[in-house]
Amino acid sequence: MILGMSISAFTTLHVVISLAAIALGLVWIADLVRGRQSPLIAGLFLLLTILTSVTGFMFPAAAVTPAQIVGGISLVVLAAAVVALYVFGLRGIWRPIYVTTAILALYFNVFVGVVQAFQKIGPLSALAPTQSEPPFLIAQTIVLLLAVVAGWLAARRFRGGPTSMT
């Protein structure tokens, strides 16, 4: 049991939080690419992405897993994003730090999502049973390229502060 829930129920909660974080992250990054930001979407995206990593650490594990390593790195970059947004108000160098770290956290979330999809979804698992086959590598390369392009566009176009809506 985890937090009074069966492992199955907790897994479902973790997956729902993760998918909601990714969905909000995609809305958030689309807004940044358009040069604006909704404080509500940004805050919820950051909160749910933090919860994704935190809940990931609650699963029983005999040793440190690659997902936990990614989750730990994600929490570090999320801390920088939160500080940039809420402490420094995206002033000066904190705007690109915010954009870069938050996009990196979104990328990590999607990266782990792709890993999980190839592990848990039968047809994907059949295409890449060891996750070293071309379909898996192609999927992860596409995710990385999309994150880099979206990050570059967001960094160039988003000039507003934490509550910029224009």
Whether residue 162 lies inside any domain: the answer is no
Q: Please check whether residue 2 lies inside any domain of the structure.
A: no
Kindly give the confidence (pLDDT) of every residue in the chain, 166 residues in length, as a single tens digit, with 9 standing for 90 and above: 888 999 999 999 999 999 999 999 999 999 999 999 999 999 999 999 999 999 999 999 889 988 899 999 999 999 999 999 999 999 999 999 999 999 999 999 999 999 999 999 999 999 999 999 999 999 999 999 999 999 999 999 998 654 444 4
- Within 10 Å of residue 164's Cβ, how many Cβ atoms? 16
What angle, rounded to 10 degrees, do the helices at 66-82 and 94-120 form?
A: 160
The count of domains in the chain is 1
Does 39 fall in a domain? yes
Is residue 128 in a domain?
yes
Structural domain contains residue 150:
yes
User: Residue 5, SS3?
Assistant: strand
**Distance between CA atoms of 56 and 75, rounded to whole angstroms?**
11
Is 163 within the bounds of a domain? no
Instruction: Please report whether residue 144 resides in a domain.
Output: yes
In this structure, what is the dihedral angle of CA atoms 146, 153, 97, 143, given to the nearest 10 degrees? 0
pLDDT in tens, 122-163: 999 999 999 999 999 999 999 999 999 999 999 999 986 544
Report the C-alpha gap between 101 and 78 in whole angstroms. Answer: 6
- The residue segments making up the domain with residue 152 are 7-157
What pLDDT, on the 0 to 100 scale, is given for residue 121?
94
> Is 166 domain-assigned?
no
Q: What is the model's pLDDT at position 161?
A: 57
Q: Which of 124, 12, 129, 108 is nearest to 59 (CA)?
A: 12
- pLDDT at res. 164: 45
